[in-house]
Structure 1
Amino acid sequence: MGFERASVIESDPQIVDETRIRAIATELLAESTGGRSLLAKMQDQLRWDDKLLSWTMDNPGLRVQLFRLIDCLPALTTKAEVARHLQEYLSVEDVELPPALKGLLNFTAADSMAGKAAATTLSTAVETLARKYIAGSTLKETRKTIEKLRRQSMTFTMDVLGEAVITETEAQAYLDQYLTLTTQLTEASQTWSTVPQVDRADGVALSKVQVTVKLTAFYSQFDPLDVAGSQAKVSDRIRLLLRHAKDVGAAVHFDMEQYRYKAATLTTLKALLKEAEFCDRTDIGLTLQAYLRDSYSDLQGIIAWAKERGNPITVRLVKGAYWDQETIIARQNHWSTPVYNHKSSTDANFERMTRLLLENHQHLYAAIGSHNVRSQAHAIAIAETLEIPQRSIEFQVLYGMADNLATALAKRGHRVRVYCPYGDLIPGMAYLIRRLLENTANSSFLRQSVSNVAADELLAPPVWGEGDTDRDKVQPEESRLSFHPVADTDFAIAIARDQATKALETVQQQLGQPYWPLINGELVQTENTLPSVNPSVPTEIVGVVGQVTIDQAEDAIAAAKAAFATWKKTPASERAHILRRAADLLDQRRHELNAWMVFEAGKPLHQADAEVSEAADFCRYYAAEMERLEAEVIYDVAGECDRYLYRPKGIVLVISPWNFPLAIPTGMTVAALVTGNCALLKPAAATAVIAAKLTEILVEAGIPKGVCQYIPGPGSTVGSHLVKHPDVHMIVFTGSQDVGCQIYASAAILQPGQRHLKRVVAEMGGKNAIIVDESSDLDQAVQGVVYSAFGYSGQKCSACSRVVVLASVYEPFVARLVEATKSLNVGQAIDPSTKVGPVIDAAAQARIRQVIAQGKTEATLALELPAPDIGYFVGPTIFTDVDPQSSLAQEEIFGPVLSVLKAQNFDQALEIANGTNYALTGGLYSRTPSHIDQAKAEFEVGNLYINRSITGAIVSRQPFGGFKLSGVGSKAGGPDYLLQFLEPRTVTENIQRQGFAPIAGMD
């Protein structure tokens, strides 16, 4: 975050006296440092833990590597492993090490005495560092911390580390832990002497015990798309906690988390705290983050709500701890950034929110959470000016982050509350990294304090950075790609959820209509039709699709041949313009198309939405790629003109699958069209209605008659006839290996009258594996495997069907994997809480059930979830103790069935992962640099994903496709893909005439 300055924050001198603010801030700063710089105080105690912080402030590259090393340290179980990772992370060429660190790395073998000594030094330093920010790993330790704070006239709020729950068992354990904690702390508080400064305010006794909780930790499937369902689940558990807290006399505060959860969190708490049972409670609080652009309006809304409620609650005002994460997520998804771009803007917003909050002190209590002396002084000045009662304001700091400031505030007589994290180091590591990032960020007040920034600059009024004022319209960051990607829907936004719901209602009223083939620009009725049904409710007919005959297919071929003569001469820029128009239409009709996929493909809404984006991105990317390829490549030499250029092939038969019913047919079809070919789209029968909608869009975008034709029909007759047709130049197929190989063989046979060899591009699935090693973040690994294996019921060619786990973490991984899978909601795709919907049809259901039955004879059944009786459902199923050579581990299943295999070491894990006939996608969860490098070099897959899920490839960023028996052809969405649809030509002209050549520069 930078400090670009645009305009000073507006202030009312009647409320905010800048002179008074500066005076208070100066006093606090002096009291905090004891008259010496914080840098001088820090240099007094340069132990190893202090050295780590000091080095990271001065060396950004080292900062990254050290924090990554610290992040994985709790997962390493031996000193040799710690020493090996120490060398791997810090022996990086572009990172300059301080002499002390170089000395620490001066060992050759990780298991040597020197290596073990280095490991001990590092581990001790990190543990000491963690204890600076974590109040205790046991309740006994934490009670000592609390009692010390109380002796300093400060109070606390207790936060249990490890709130990132991924199973319902963990969510229940989180609640139980807080129920126990509040009981134990309040029992302990009976022995504490009263400290009037923090235990009483305006003659009223305050709770001596306060706990802070994360709302999402009460429900493992908390989802912004499912606000109502998430609200119902968490509210039941919150009610239990609030009732218990009242019984024992504890206060409860609700923390704020990532932006995507904010709206659902506020909605839930507002509803709950207005219930009759809780409406009179004033010992409850919630948090707002000033770095969010909409936080000021959120505060205005809470004030209005509090006035209606009639009894105040506390609003803890903080600046926010997820700035980097929020910025990255927004950029990855092409969303407007929800946080301010500049730290100075956050500080400015914090001050105006402080003022608004304190001006409404009769409706809300204020908890000013900041380590910035200026921010706290600003609040004090307003409180003094408005003569705000003691009960209405307190000041908060994080444990270990601003101890001197907290002491200075307490000495001034203010109520100071210290946020005390409590728990084991492993779940607390994410918290520790956030604190280290905050402490060492150039823009933080603490970092500036130890950098000898002048007091006048340090305590100056904050200003709004460029582009951060309320008047500035926030736009997504410009893409660095050759096209402008389409953004997925952010379902955390209420209006987006409303639009999705309305589209589902509208489309449901349109079910059952007929859809006819499009031949030569005309809808053609057929004698035979085929119903398309909703796999969630098979009695519900989505549409009735006309099936072309061979004669009608011949008509389509004739129309394509006639249209090709003109279309191939159409400039690429015009063809590209049509594709961009199609992309716009896809995006405009996003919610409608999502709804059709929900009903016809059984695809849950969030999965469908990403597919619309992919379809639109294919259009825009291939448009840009064709414009690039249209330019002639020049290889001229003196006296000779040499050109390299492309021409289209002719007629392309597109045979698309049902599992990505919009994105894949769009990509294959528009690739054919933009390169100047004519396309015959023959979609999978199960999702032919969605293909009809795509055809409508392409026609509306301007594709001429005969250039793109929609020809649904039986694969065994019409499909086979077209594959062998002498006028078809190319077949693009996505589907099963059996059908793909049959197409490949049939296309290779030269037919009578055929004057070309057909090109076949075929993507034929995979048996994809994810490796989980001993250094992995198991929270991340379990979530990634569950999503990759069971998202869209495992019906993605990229889905994880095998997970290879190293023996040292096999048991804990399997235990959490099973519990996380148990927590998934299985149900109809239309239900926003659904994570696992139906499989596509009855045949698929029967086949997968047969695989499961066979698997029970080969391996150990660890889990088989029940599934709804109505619809084509198969519950997520997990097998353990799977033989790498068994059918479970070798054959593609295309359903929600996951095999877990054990490997003794990383080399064996790679051998198992590579031990199939497929090479499509693969994944690795690891924080060991050498393992990551080895996987990059040796994992035999077309798409390798490291420390993330293995599904959801993004156009241009992650071109998709594999090798071995996973398919043939270049990667979809990549720079080579369009070349398959083109014939390259070289044209050479001798331009010399009697020794004269018209070349610039020759006289």
Structure 2
Amino acid sequence: MVAQLSNNTYESKTQEIAKQLLAASKEKRSFFTQLQDQMRWDDKLLGWTMSNPGLRVQLFRFIDCLPALRSKAEIANHLQEYLTTEQVELPSALKSLIGFSGGDSIPGQVAATTVSTAVETLAHKYIAGENIKEVIKTVERLRKEKMAFTIDLLGEAVITEEEAKSYLDRYLELMTQLTEASKKWGNVSQIDEADGEQIKRVQVSVKLTAFYSQFDPLDATGSEKRVSERVRTLLRHAKEVGAAVHFDMEQYVYKDITFAILKNILMEEEFRNRSDIGVTVQAYLRDSEKDLLGLIEWAKKRGTPVTVRLVKGAYWDQETIKSAQKDWPQPVFNEKAATDENFEKLTQLLLENHQYLYAGIAGHNVRSQAKAIAIAETLKIPRRRFEMQVLYGMGDKLAKALVDRGYRVRVYCPYGDLLPGMAYLIRRLLENTANSSFLRQSLEDRPIEELISAPSPENAAETYHTSRHFPNSADSDYAKESLRKEAEVSLKIVRQQLGKTYLPFINGSYQETAQKVNSVNPSNPSEVIGTIGLMSVEQAQTAIQAAKDAFPQWRRTPVRQRAGVLRKAAELMTERRQEFCAWMVLEVGKPVRECDAEVSEAIDFCRYYADEMERLDQGHNYDVAGENNRYTYQPRGISLIISPWNFPLAIPVGMTVASLVTGNCTMLKPAEVSSVIAAKFAEILIEAGIPKGVFQFVPGKGSSVGSYMVKHPDVHMITFTGSQEVGCQIYADAAILQPGQKHLKRVIAEMGGKNAIIVDESADLDQAVAGVVYSAFGYSGQKCSACSRVIVLEPVYNAFVHRLVEATNSLNVGAAESPSTQVGPVIDANAQKRIQEYIEKGKQEAELALEMPTPANGYFVGPVIFKDVSGTSTIAQEEIFGPVLSVMKAHNFDEAIALANGTNFALTGGIYSRTPSHIEKAKSEFEVGNLYVNRGITGAIVSRQPFGGFKLSGVGSKAGGPDYLLQFLEPRHVSENIQRQGFAPIDGVD
């Protein structure tokens, strides 16, 4: 290892080189002056985005949508929709351009042509070509300028195995054609050789996620197996034709598994001696130094260097937003200066270890590149061991200045169609126009001293925070190996506890029962999870009396104390998170990641309702002179909770703790097939200190014991989640005044849905297909919020259906405990039979597009897709509650809305669209309780997305919302006249 020098050793040389590079690459006039002088619309668009943040957002959204638009009229109309909002202040030239009436008008056609041509011109600045022929011309031009290249294929959003195979095939063909073309190229010694060694003329850059459509850190072993074989094929072909391969880095979630896979492959004997391979490190990641140190140690063992491309990172906004949404620690630095500082630190570390790793220093910041050169020249690093890299279309003058100094410069050249390339273009435009961008700052004629000063972050340790009122519990980040192992161990521990008996908990003790039933693993019905004691009607009467006796004391218990029980329960569930996940995987066949999200929801219900009840307990004062008015709440009394099996923890927890914290004595009757999980929740409440008789676990037959409790005159309210048939029966039974009953019962009922997602012609189909697949087939479609209908507008119908079928067919169907499984079993034999009957009915009503095979053992139903489904057909109207999806065609958006609203349900719905007017129309006219725009329609989060519907989807307020607890309370108002003989106390006066 080279003796490491201090950072200060390189500073004066860095400053000197930076000034030279800046002088060589500086524009003669400022960028904005040029914009004013030129009539090029592509430059004008870019210039305007720099000076107007509102326009920047809307213009980039329009550019993102543009490739999906199929006519000049559509382009013109979208241009107006995006750029005529109140948030956008338009430059006069742009205002006059879009001030037309109607997309079909001549001015509208002119505007569409002008802007689409400008955007296409802009795209070609950053995209090296739309096909290999164009790319070859580009790289030949670069070589004439003494620049090397690496080629990246755009559009790696792989969501089907068909696309993954195509991605590999296209790269094999790309390498073949490029190397064939390279045979005609003359030698350019500055880039083709160094230190007596020939350097591969052709290099391609690839992303691991594009080699396997189900690439997932949770399934690290399965993903590695599928990806590795394809990577080996790529590397063998590269060796055969004489090309180099570089592996790009993507989102943070894939980082660790990407490094693990590449380290393993490149240690194999076949590839261990290859030095024409590279990996990427992103300096904006807080743990990038640890990653680079790990690569250095790995490279020492390997014995042959690979190249590390050091970049700053291209997903900063996405990473900060995702971590905020997930309540995870932020993986990236907040400040641009902190990233720049880390980049320099990593540059030094990398170059000082040049005998183990070659360096590719990528970026357009003159200061950063100067630092690299200063280190390289000071240490006299051989030219083979480092190079400078820039993006195509960015930093061209810097690249030329570096070439003129005799360095090897490699240009990262993306190629492909504009449609898949648009996401790349947007990232580049955001980078170019950001306030902190070096390119922008240098074009604004900032002082040289300011441009080349050492980065000095104000607070690099600070993390990104949102101002959300309620902090949600963070899901497990299964990209972390430690959490994957924890989940695996928990599954083994829980398996050792199978077969136990779980009895009713009545009046503070467990009660033996005459009748028992086994709860089995739907992935393997021969495996008994536990035996449930089903209580009798007599025991139900005892439970109701115990609740009645406990009620006076519990209602008087201070709210803070009741809330304390909930918070303690939340702590206990947090400690047992992976254990609860394991129980759900085994008892109801739910894949582990969805189980984990459910534990988070259960924890959130406890904490959120504790907070909410403390808020409500403050009441309201409406005092006037001489009169005090106090508005308060009191509990209703005896509360019965009837919970479903599909969310066996979150739903019973939410309904139960809402009832308890509001002061009601509560009985929980779970679905028979998920009673072990409910029993485990009962253990939590008991350990949290719930008093005797206040909470009781009352498993039993719904038709007998359940019906008895619903009708009992001492029961004040029933909270139910389940089927429409049972919910309506409860509603009817509860409405009958029983002998001795002195109250009208309150019923809260959530009764399912027939949920639709609309996909219009402007939708991002990558996003739409992935969202529909997850919403329809997540937990085998057994969510009340699941998508069972997708309504697609005619222009994109065929393309959407093809990708939908291929994406669904790429899913893994199997036992829920397997980390590779996306679609597990349905809950039991009855559900399996019912769903299969609907499938047979569907075959008579519509065209079968896909029916996936299933494992022989277990209650499996593979994903099924029907296309060309009529809106009035049985499968489009009735809730199937399984992995069956109906695809319907609409001729226009109004028809799509009508189809979506054409059922008796109104629970969830979604729309994928980049047309603002369509989104606004859906917001006002789509009849659902929860509408999701450009995202999946399942997985509501407590406080952020209160959940519940109307019509026949249910009655009651939204779970996890600010008015949910009011249903468990009765309001009271006390008005007191405080005058005595005309005298009343005045605040502040004795």
Establish whether TM, by shorter chain, passes 0.5: yes
> What is the CA distance between 1:446 and its match in structure 2?
0.8
Write out per-residue CA displacement over residues 88-139 of structure 1, whole angstroms, 9 at most, x where no aligned residue.
0001112110001101112111111110100000100000000000000121
Partner of 1:962: 949
1:480 matched to 2:473? The reply is no
User: How far is 1:632 from its partner?
Assistant: 2.3
Using the alignment, how far apart are the partners of 1:293 and 1:549 within structure 2? 59
Give the Cα–Cα distance (whole angstroms) in 2 for the partners of residues 913 and 105 of structure 1: 33
Q: Give the alignment partner of residue 105 of structure 1, picking from 94, 98, 104.
A: 98
Residues 323-472 of structure 1: pairs in structure 2 closer than 5 A: 323-468=316-461
Q: 2:699 aligns with which of 702, 712, 724?
A: 712
1:825 partnered with 2:818:
no
Q: CA deviation at 1:451?
A: 2.1
Residue 665 of structure 1, aligned match among 642, 652, 667: 652
- After superposition, what is the alpha-carbon deviation per residue over 1:24-82, rounded to whole angstroms, capped at 9, x for unaligned? 00000111115555555665545100011111111101100000000000000000000
Equivalent residue of 1:17, what SS? helix
Q: C-alpha separation between the residues in 1 aligned to 2:335 and 2:252? A: 17
Quick one: distance in 2 between partners of 1:969 and 1:730? 12
Q: Is 1:978 the counterpart of 2:965 in the alignment?
A: yes
1:632 matched to 2:627? The reply is: no
1:557-568 maps to which residues of 2 (within 5 A)?
557-568=544-555
- CA distances 1:244-273 after superposition (whole Å, capped 9, x unpaired): 000000000000000000011000000010
CA distance in 1, matches of 2:56, 2:571: 43
Q: C-alpha separation between the residues in 2 aligned to 1:351 and 1:325?
A: 24
* Amino-acid identity (%): 68
Report if the CA contact (8 A) 1:336-1:477 is conserved: no
Equivalent residue for 1:231, pick from 220, 224, 237: 224
Q: Check if 1:222 corresponds to 2:190.
A: no
Q: 1:162 aligns with which of 155, 158, 163?
A: 155
Indicate conservation of the 8 Å contact 1:156/1:209, yes or no: yes
Q: CA deviation at 1:442?
A: 0.6
Q: Partners of 2:655 and 2:910 in 1: how far apart?
A: 26
> Which residue of 2 is the match for residue 291 of structure 1?
284
Q: Alpha carbon RMSD of aligned pairs, Å?
A: 1.2
Deviation, structure 1 residue 16: 3.4
Q: CA distance change for structure 1 residues 478 and 43 in 2, over 3 Å: closer, same or farther?
A: closer
Aligned ranges for residues 426-825 of structure 1 at < 5 Å? 426-468=419-461, 477=465, 480-481=468-469, 483-825=470-812
Change (3 A) 1:12 1:203: closer
Amino acid at match of 2:657: V
Partners of 1:41 and 1:974 in 2: CA distance: 54
5+ long unaligned stretches in structure 1: 1-10
Report the CA distance shift for 1:803/1:82 in structure 2 as closer, same or farther (over 3 A).
Answer: same
Q: 1:334, 1:477 within 8 Å by CA — same for their partners in 2?
A: no
Matching residue of 2:239 = 246
Residue identity matched to 1:591: Q
Deviation digits for residues 864-921 of structure 1 (CA, Å, limit 9, x no counterpart):
0001010000000000010100001000000000000000000000000000000000
The answer to whether 1:892 aligns with 2:879 is: yes
TM-score by length of 2: 0.99
User: Contact 1:331 / 1:477 at 8 angstroms: preserved in 2?
Assistant: yes
Find the partner of 1:177 among 170, 181, 184. 170
Partner of 1:194: 187
How many Å separate the matches in 1 of 2:497 and 2:887? 43
TM-score by length of 1: 0.97
Maintained 8 Å contact 2:338/2:460: no
Given the alignment, which residue of 297, 302, 315 partners 1:304?
297
User: Are 1:270 and 2:258 matched, yes or no?
Assistant: no
Q: Secondary structure at the match of 1:627?
A: helix
> Quick one: which amino acid aligns to residue 247 of structure 1?
E
Q: Which residue of 2 aligns with 1:7?
A: none
Distance in 1, Cα, partners of 2:720 & 2:395 = 62
Partner of 1:994: 981
Match of 1:6 in 2: none
* Contact in 1 for aligned 2:498/2:530 (Cα 8 Å): yes
SS in 2 for 1:157: strand
Q: SS at the partner of 1:884?
A: coil
What residue number does 2:936 align with? 949
For residues 813-962 of structure 1, the aligned pairs below 5 Å read 813-962=800-949
Q: Give the Cα–Cα distance (whole angstroms) in 2 for the partners of residues 357 and 375 of structure 1.
A: 13
Look up the equivalent residue of 2:63 and give its one-letter code: I
Q: Secondary structure at the match of 1:703?
A: coil
Within the candidate set 103, 108, 111, 1:115 is matched to 108
Contact 1:520 1:709 in 2 (8 A): yes
Q: Cα 1:533–1:408, aligned 2, differ >3 Å: closer, same or farther?
A: same
Following TM superposition, by how much is the alpha carbon of 1:210 offset from its aligned partner in structure 2, in angstroms? 0.1
Match of 1:85 among 75, 78, 82: 78
Q: Is the 8 A contact 2:35 2:44 kept in 1?
A: no
Assess if the C-alpha contact under 8 Å between 1:15 and 1:386 holds in 2.
Answer: no
| Structure-1 separation of matches of 2:813 and 2:9 | 55
Match of 1:317 among 310, 313, 316: 310
SS at match of 2:432: helix
What is the alpha-carbon distance in structure 2 between the residues aligned to residue 34 and residue 800 of structure 1? 55
Q: Count residues in correspondence.
A: 987
* Amino acid in structure 1 at the alignment position of 2:297: A
* The 10-residue stretch of structure 1 (36-45 or 269-278) with the greater mean CA deviation from structure 2: 36-45
Structure 1 distance, partners of 2:87, 2:171, is 46
Letter in 2 for 1:351: E
Counterpart in the other structure of 2:252: 259
Alpha-carbon distance between aligned partners in 1 of 2:507 and 2:572, rounded to the nearest angstrom: 22
Change (3 A) 1:45 1:204: farther
Structure 2: runs of 5 or more not aligned:
none
Contact 1:39 1:449 in 2 (8 A): no
Q: CA deviation at 1:969?
A: 0.5
Counterparts of 1:589 and 1:478, CA distance in 2: 27
**1:922·1:943 contact (CA, 8 Å) conserved in 2?**
yes
Shift of residue 747, structure 1, vs aligned partner: 0.4
- How far did residue 520 of structure 1 move? 1.2
Whether the aligned pair in 2 keeps the contact of 1:341 and 1:465 (CA below 8 Å) is no
Instruction: Give the Cα–Cα distance (whole angstroms) in 2 for the partners of residues 893 and 72 of structure 1.
Output: 35
2: CA distance between counterparts of 1:477 and 1:156? 39
Once residues 80 and 69 of structure 2 are traced to their aligned partners in structure 1, the CA distance between those partners, rounded to angstroms, is 14
1:224 is displaced (CA, Å) by 1.1
Of 18, 22, 25, 2:18 maps to 25
Distance 1:251 1:16 in 2: 35
d(CA) in 2 for partners of 1:463, 1:901: 57
Deviation at 1:581, TM superposition (A): 1.3
Comparing 631-640 with 932-941, which one deviates more in the overlay? 631-640
Counterpart CA distance in 2 for 1:92 and 1:829 is 48
1:966 aligned partner, one-letter code: S
